[in-house]
Chain A
C-alpha cells in the first residue's frame, strides 16, 4: 500500500517536471515572425492594420520591422521598439493602462450590468404576470341569444 503511494507520487513528480519543459536558461529566444508582427500593428496614417495597408507609410513600417527582425530581435522587443519610434498608437491592441483600460474593462462591466439587470427584472415580470387577475367573465347569454349563436356557428362549420 505504502509502496503504491510512493510510486504514484514519483509518477506525478515526473509528469510535473516534464510539463514544465526545458529550463529557461537553455531555451533559445524565438525569432520574430514578420507575418505575426504585421497582424499586431497598425499603419497609423491610414488607420488600418499593417497586414492590409498599402500606403507609403505602411511600406516604410514594414521595411523598419524587417530591419529589426534582421537584427535578431524577438516579437516583444520589436513591438517595444515600434512603440518607441511611432508611439503606442502603432499597437493594434492598445496597452491595458490609463484611459485605454476602459476598452478592456467597459465591455465586461456593461455585460455584467446587463445580466444583473435581467436577473432582477425577469423574475419580477414573471411574478407580475402570474399574479395578474384573470379577465372578468362577461354577462350570461340569454337563451334566445345562445340559440342564435349556435345557429350561426352551425352555418359556418
Chain B
C-alpha cells in the first residue's frame, strides 16, 4: 500500500494540474471561430443572450434576448478608446435610421467606469441603450479582446455580420439594409 503512496500523490497532482489547464482553456472563447462561421454564412447564435447586464445610468438591467425580433447593432466601446470616439457620431446618427426599420443600436461598455461612460454617451448624444459589462465575460464570449467591435445580430438572434475595428459609413450601408429587410 505504501509503495503506491508517492506515485499516487504525483498522479493526483498531475490530474489536478491537467484539470486546471483544461478549465482555463475552456474559459477562452476563440474569436476566430465566430468570425469563420459568420464568413461561411453559418451565422452563430449570439452568445450570452440571457446574461443580464445593468443599463448605464439606471438601476435596471437588460439581456440581449430582450431585443429578440429586432436587428441589434451591438457596439462594444470604452470612453478611453480614441477610435470609439471616432465612430460614435456615426453610430448615434445610425440609431435614427435603425429605429425606423425595426432595429436598434446597443452599446456595451468595455473595462470602463460608469461615470466616464456616461460622459462619453452625453458628449456624443448617444440615445440608444448602453449596457455595462462589469466582469467582461459578456464581451469575452464574443471573442472581444479590444475596442471598438461591432456585431450585427439579426431578428433570430444570430450574428450575421461583425467588424473588429471601427465601423465606417460604407460598411453600415453595405451590411445593414439586407439584414433589416429580412423578416424572420
Q: Are A113 and B79 in contact (CB under 8 A)?
A: no
Q: Which of A57, A102, A117 contacts B80 (CB 8 A)?
A: A57
Asked if B82 CB lies within 8 Å of chain A CBs, one says yes
Q: Which residues of B contact A59 (CB under 8 A)?
A: 80
Instruction: Knowing A60-B79, A85-B134 are in contact, say whether A45-B9 is a contact too (CB < 8 A).
Output: no
Query: Using a Cβ–Cβ cut-off of 8 Å, how many residues does chain A contribute to the interface with B?
Result: 22
Q: Are B135 and A89 in contact (CB under 8 A)?
A: yes
The distance in angstroms between the C-alpha atoms of A87 and B137, with both chains bound, is 10
Q: Are A56 and B113 in contact (CB under 8 A)?
A: no
Asked if B181 CB lies within 8 Å of chain A CBs, one says no
Q: Are A86 and B111 in contact (CB under 8 A)?
A: yes
Asked if B63 CB lies within 8 Å of chain A CBs, one says no
Asked if A110 CB lies within 8 Å of chain B CBs, one says yes
The distance in angstroms between the C-alpha atoms of A64 and B111, with both chains bound, is 12
Q: Which residues of A contact B80 (CB under 8 A)?
A: 56-57, 59-60
From 48 to 85 in chain B, residues with beta carbon under 8 angstroms from any chain A beta carbon are 78-82
Q: Are A89 and B13 in contact (CB under 8 A)?
A: no
Q: Are A113 and B113 in contact (CB under 8 A)?
A: no
Asked if B1 CB lies within 8 Å of chain A CBs, one says no
Q: Which residues of B contact A44 (CB under 8 A)?
A: 111, 136
The distance in angstroms between the C-alpha atoms of A60 and B113, with both chains bound, is 9
Q: CB-nearest residue of chain B relative to A60? A: B80
The proximity string for A residues 75-92 relative to B, scoring 1 for CB distances below 8 Å and 0 otherwise, is: 000000000111111000
Asked if A120 CB lies within 8 Å of chain B CBs, one says yes
Q: Are B20 and A87 in contact (CB under 8 A)?
A: no
The distance in angstroms between the C-alpha atoms of A56 and B6, with both chains bound, is 51
Q: Which of A56, A64, A84, A110 contacts B81 (CB 8 A)?
A: A56
Query: Using a Cβ–Cβ cut-off of 8 Å, how many residues does chain B contribute to the interface with A?
Result: 21
Instruction: Knowing A60-B113, A85-B113 are in contact, say whether A120-B6 is a contact too (CB < 8 A).
Output: yes
The distance in angstroms between the C-alpha atoms of A64 and B80, with both chains bound, is 11
The distance in angstroms between the C-alpha atoms of A45 and B13, with both chains bound, is 32
Q: CB-nearest residue of chain B relative to A65? A: B113
The distance in angstroms between the C-alpha atoms of A110 and B78, with both chains bound, is 41
Q: Are A86 and B134 in contact (CB under 8 A)?
A: yes
The distance in angstroms between the C-alpha atoms of A117 and B5, with both chains bound, is 9
Q: Are A86 and B113 in contact (CB under 8 A)?
A: yes
From 56 to 73 in chain A, residues with beta carbon under 8 angstroms from any chain B beta carbon are 56-57, 59-61, 63-64, 67
Q: Which residues of A contact B6 (CB under 8 A)?
A: 117, 120-121
Instruction: Knowing A45-B111, A56-B80, A85-B113 are in contact, say whether A110-B136 is a contact too (CB < 8 A).
Output: no
Interchain residue pairs A-B with the least CB separation, the first 8: A60-B80, A85-B113, A87-B135, A56-B80, A64-B113, A87-B134, A44-B111, A57-B80
**Which residues of A come within 8 Å of B, CB atoms?**
44-45, 56-57, 59-61, 63-64, 67, 84-89, 102, 110, 113, 117, 120-121
